[in-house]
Structure 1
Amino acid sequence: MPAPIWLALLPLRSQDPSSSTDEPDLHGAALWALGFSPRVAVVDQAVLLEVGASLRLFGGLLHLAEQLQAGAEALCLAVSAPAATGLAALAVARAGQRLEIADLPGETTPGEALAARLTEQLDPLPLRTLTAAQRAEGTLLRAGCSTLGALRRLPRGGVSRRFGIELLHALDEAYAQRPCAFAWEQLPERFHARLELPSRVDLAPALLFGARRLLLQLSGFLHARQVLTSGFTLGWLHDAMRARTASAGGEITVRTAEPSRDLEHLSRLLSEHLAREQLEAPACELTLGVDPAWLSPAASLSKSLLPDDGARGGTLVQALERISVRLGAEHVRVPRCTEDHRPEHQTAWLPWSAAGLPRPVAVRGDVQMDALAVGPQPTWLLAEPLPLAARAGQPHYQGPLALLAGPHRIEAGWWHRTADDSGEHHEHAQRDYWVASNAAAGLVWIFSARLAGERVAWYLHGVFA
């Protein structure tokens, strides 16, 4: 088992009482920290987490510390220097020794080094850094004992009789002389987080600052549960001093094209949605929730030495998703195959939806729409077939056309009815398609439509590039 490495997350206000920094939600911070380690506990107004077993997953202590530090700053927390025990990490944090990325060892197993210098790390710390010693601090200071090292050197019997056995137990737990048991934080079955805003917010885009804290908690929840989400709902409550015509609050639901737990992508997507919102009244509280139906298992990381080409497509999907939110789904369209043999109806251009890119519709069991294309298909299809002149039964387009291949017969659309100002029309198609050419037009795709009285009409429908 890897040697333990403990870190403490301490609210910034705890280190500077005069600071006006918002008091963080420790249990919410613990939920975020569960994304880095399953051993997380809230102890004495701080969050403790043991990351020794998580180093390999995050690529070493350096990479893990960088991610922890970035998230902790957004949550108004300070990350302590690493220590070999939980109470030692808490004492180090209270002493103001913060995590310094440049001072961390590059190896992925620094636990043994921390255990070797635990005594050296704790002995100089003041008594107030250990919770159990705070009540006895005044008496000990008058006796000339001002550090944990000095306290440890006092006779244990006298300390036990004067201050109680709990002080010795806490001292032993900090110095790894006694096992320490914490009440570990448990993941909830459903994610729902709440944040009271420090001041009234009048503009919807400004809600992103507070919403990002909730998204950090959601990211930790998703990582700890090893799941992805395809959406979330951000709600807000209006201030009690709102106008009578304003509602109690509002909400927006953000759906993603593909399941994700990427914090930056979710934040950018929420930012685009908030930019289109307008608050009826100032907001004072935020909530963030996820429908369990939107959660899906996360795929395991590939162990292959070769790059995963499939993972590269996520950037394009995320970019299209943000563009569709900014411009509107009706301005970003995607093609979708339909069950129709008529070329002009085989592809439908639909607005981008949160469900993602439409996929081809299968027909006749496992047969895909590509199987419907019999014979060569043109590169460019005209929006409306162009009527052609015919002389002696031969079609003309920039000169007489020679029929090279065909016919490919299509007879469909008898069920299709359209209506306009002139009345109802049917879209029944009876066509024989040909590949034709001449020196001026090149290769073209034409068809002959059978009319009443054995008449035939010719049309140009496509061009081969």
Structure 2
Amino acid sequence: MVFERERVAALSAAARACGVHEGMRRGGVQLLAPEAQLQERDPAREQAALEQTALALLQYTPQVSLAPQACVLLEVSASLRLFGGIRALCRKVRVSISRLGLSATLSCAVTATGAWMLARYGDVRTVRERSLRRRLDRLPVVLLSAAQAHLEWLHGLGCRQLGQLRALPRAGLQRRCGKALLDMLEHAYGEAPEVHDWVVAPPVFQARVELPDRIEQTDILTAYAQALLTQLAGWLTARQLAVKQLRLWLEHERGRQAVAPTDLRIALSAPAWQEDHLYSLVKEKLARSTLPAPAIALGLAAEELERRQPASDMLFPEPGGSAEDHQRLLELLVARLGADKVRQAAPRADYRPELANRWCSVMQPAASLPAPLSTDAARLPPRPLWLLDEPVPLRVLQHKPFYRTPLEFTSPPERIEAGWWEGRPSTRDYFTVRDAQHAYYWIFRQWHGGECPEEEPQWFLHGLFG
């Protein structure tokens, strides 16, 4: 229950069932509902919530404006096709508002003032001018903020609905009630153009939310982090930017028992702006983190930004998903397992198979990786996908290598000579062989000293073909 100047301004259905109503004093409320939770109205927090909502809704249209009576107006005529129509867009808007921890009444109309008045009356949607006029005619006059000072006179005339108000002579109505009332009517019915002050996204994004209690479990923080990410999604869309690194900080106790904030940084391999993808990364990061002390506030900042790249203009989608889908999967795995657990191949300029590649984190930029050999891969003999960490010595029976069963050669030799620049010359002859079960292997014959001595060479298993 919310109080303003010691009188009830808003109440729940349970409080109303106990006999409480708007305008009742605090003493009467405590008498009828002694267990009710009483809160004092905070206009500053209400205004901050409206501004946060407007910032979050910038992801659906660049034309968002704030209106009286805690209303946010969106001009969505250019966004309907992008989001699949008015119904799909309303569902998305409702989800974004719920992620902010708020509830709202959504209404649609061909005029902003008309939509604002319909929203104050109830959840009404109309996209045709004739239907809007019919619905507006049935609305009570009390919804007009410009008519509040003249309600007694209008009700005395029997004028309780907007349709009855519009039937009155305009000249007399303007002399008695002023031009503001007529202007509001004309704007609602589309008879005069409307002018709005559109919300402008700030140059940098940094948001913070106070937690309702001391929170010790990181999984509870994900709901509050999602509210911040919803605002970030709107800000990124309005600025046409993508983020490469997020900074999430958790504030702890202040005063004598102060604890330094906990900083969490989330690096992305590719710039992203999709809210659901960013939320999955933050959720995994929080799940893998531990709190040194209970958190009392949560903050989010976008640190590394890039211009958003245009969407692919390919007629047909790529099989197996786009490059962006691949990057999102890698980033999710990194957030869940850690950057050192998800690796990518980094070829090196070395002909020795065990040294021709190393593994590094997928978060390492591609520009920092060494350049591979310029050899045409199509000219090389087949290479196995599975290379053993250490070559396995093979037995030799009747001058032929043996691995579980006798091995049959299926390819000519491929000689690799390298390592002389390191003082460790190596000469190997590689073969593709198969066993009795038709499993294919990659083996080599090792020559000692870089020459072909007369003694029997040693054989090794180095790889397995799929």
TM range (shorter): 0.7 to 0.9
CA distance in 2, matches of 1:442, 1:158: 98
CA contact (8 A) 2:90 2:106 kept: no
CA contact (8 A) 1:87 1:130 kept: no
Change in 2 beyond 3 A, CA 1:226/1:389: same
Matched, 1:362 2:362: no
Q: Say which SS state the counterpart of residue 224 (structure 1) adopts.
A: helix
In structure 2, the residue matched to 1:299 is 310
* Structure 1 residue 370: Cα displacement: 3.9
2:49 paired residue among 10, 14, 25: 25
Bigger Cα displacement from structure 2, 433-442 vs 21-30: 433-442
Aligned counterparts of 2:368 and 2:293: Cα–Cα separation in 1: 42
Q: Does 1:349 align with 2:359?
A: yes
| Structure 2 partner of 1:334 | 344
How far does residue 411 in structure 1 lie from its aligned partner after superposition? 0.9
Q: Summarize the Cα distance change of 1:388–1:303 in structure 2 as closer, same or farther, 3 Å threshold.
A: closer
Aligned equivalents of 2:77 and 2:89: distance in 1? 10
Greater RCO, CA 8 A, separation 6+: 1
The answer to whether the Cα contact below 8 Å between 1:258 and 1:356 also exists between their aligned partners in 2 is no
Partner of 2:24: none
- Deviation of 1:158 (Å): 2.8
Decide which of 135, 151, 155 is 1:141's aligned counterpart. 155
Deviations 1:70-120 (A, max 9, x none): 11222314142211211111111111x225xxxx7xxxxx74x2x112221
Q: Is the 8 A contact 1:446 1:462 kept in 2?
A: no
For 2:435 and 2:195, locate their aligned partners in 1 and report how far apart those are by CA, in whole Å.
Answer: 88
Shift of 1:359: 9.9
1:84 paired with 2:77, answer no
Does the CA contact (< 8 Å) of 1:35 and 1:223 recur in 2? yes
The question of 1:322 aligning with 2:332 is answered yes
Q: Structure 1 residues 150 and 402, CA, compared in 2 at 3 Å: closer, same or farther?
A: closer
Q: Which residue of 1 aligns with 2:30?
A: none
SS at match of 1:166: helix
Instruction: Verify the 8 A CA contact 1:242 1:281 in the aligned structure 2.
Output: no
Q: Is the 8 A contact 1:90 1:129 kept in 2?
A: no
Aligned to 2:459: 459
TM-score, normalization by structure 1: 0.77
Paired with 2:435 and 2:54, the residues of 1 have a C-alpha distance of: 75
What residue number does 1:54 align with? 79
SS in structure 2 of the partner of residue 117 of structure 1:
helix
Q: Secondary structure at the match of 1:397?
A: strand
SS in 2 for 1:194: strand
2:273 equivalent among 254, 261, 273: 261
Taking structure 1 as reference, are residues 368 and 408 closer, same or farther at Cα in structure 2, changes over 3 Å only? closer
Partner-residue secondary structure (3-state), 1:178: coil
Task: Please tell me the residue identity of whatever aligns with 1:299.
Answer: P
Corresponding letter in the other structure for 1:233: R
Q: Is the 8 A contact 1:378 1:444 kept in 2?
A: yes
2:19 aligns with none
1:409 to 416, 426, 446: 416
* Aligned AA (2:321): A
Q: CA separation of 1:319/1:350 partners in 2, compared to 1, >3 Å: closer, same or farther?
A: same
Counterpart of 2:181 in 1: which secondary structure?
helix
For 2:301, the equivalent position in structure 1 comes to 289
- Checking the alignment, whether the CA contact within 8 Å between 2:58 and 2:235 is kept in structure 1 is yes
What SS does the corresponding residue of 1:451 show, helix, strand or coil?
Answer: helix
Q: AA paired with 1:341?
A: Y
Match runs of 1:92-103 below 5 Å: 92-95=118-121, 97-98=122-123
Q: Given the superposition, is the C-alpha separation of residues 156 and 260 from structure 1 closer, same or farther in structure 2, using an over 3 Å criterion? A: same
CA distance in 1, matches of 2:130, 2:222: 44
Map 1:55-134; keep pairs closer than 5 Å: 55-75=80-100, 76-95=102-121, 97-98=122-123, 111=127, 113=128, 115-134=129-148
Partners of 1:197 and 1:286 within 8 A in 2:
yes
Deviations 1:219-254 (A, max 9, x none): 12223334432332222333546724x12x233122
Deviation string 1:310-344 (CA, Å, 9 cap, x unpaired) is: 63565565444334333333333333322322101
* Equivalent pairs, count: 419
Q: Scaled by the length of structure 2, what TM-score is found?
A: 0.77
Distance change in 2, residues 1:432/1:278 (3 Å): closer
Q: Partner of 1:41 in structure 2? A: 65
Q: How far 1:454 moved relative to its partner?
A: 6.7
Counterpart-to-counterpart distance in 1, 2:311 and 2:323:
17
| CA shift in 2, pair 1:403/1:176, >3 Å | closer
Q: Secondary structure at the match of 1:335?
A: strand
State the distance in 2 between where 1:261 and 1:201 align: 28
Alpha-carbon offset, residue 128 of structure 1: 3.4
Q: Which residue of 2 aligns with 1:384?
A: 390
SS of match in other structure, 1:81: coil
Name the stretch that deviates more: 80-89 or 129-138. 129-138
Q: Aligned partners of 2:390 and 2:451: how far apart in 1?
A: 25
1:272 aligns with 2:281: no
1:459 alignment partner AA = W
Cα deviation, residue 215, structure 1: 0.8
Aligned to 1:178: 192
Alpha-carbon shift at residue 182 of structure 1 (Å): 0.7
Rounded Cα–Cα distance in structure 2 between residues aligned with 1:391 and 1:48: 85
| Distance change (3 Å), C-alpha of 1:379 and 1:161 | closer
Structure 1 residues not aligned, in runs of 5+? 1-12, 105-109, 416-425
Q: Which moved more, 1:46-55 or 1:234-243?
A: 234-243
Q: Among 237, 243, 249, which residue is 2:251 paired with?
A: 237
CA distance in 1, matches of 2:311, 2:407: 61
Partner of 2:17: none
Find the counterpart in structure 1 of residue 35 from structure 2.
none
8 Å CA contact retained: 1:379, 1:463: yes
Separation in structure 2 between the aligned mates of residue 362 and residue 315 of structure 1, nearest angstrom: 26
Task: Quickly say closer, same or farther: Cα 1:288–1:452, change in 2 above 3 A.
Answer: closer
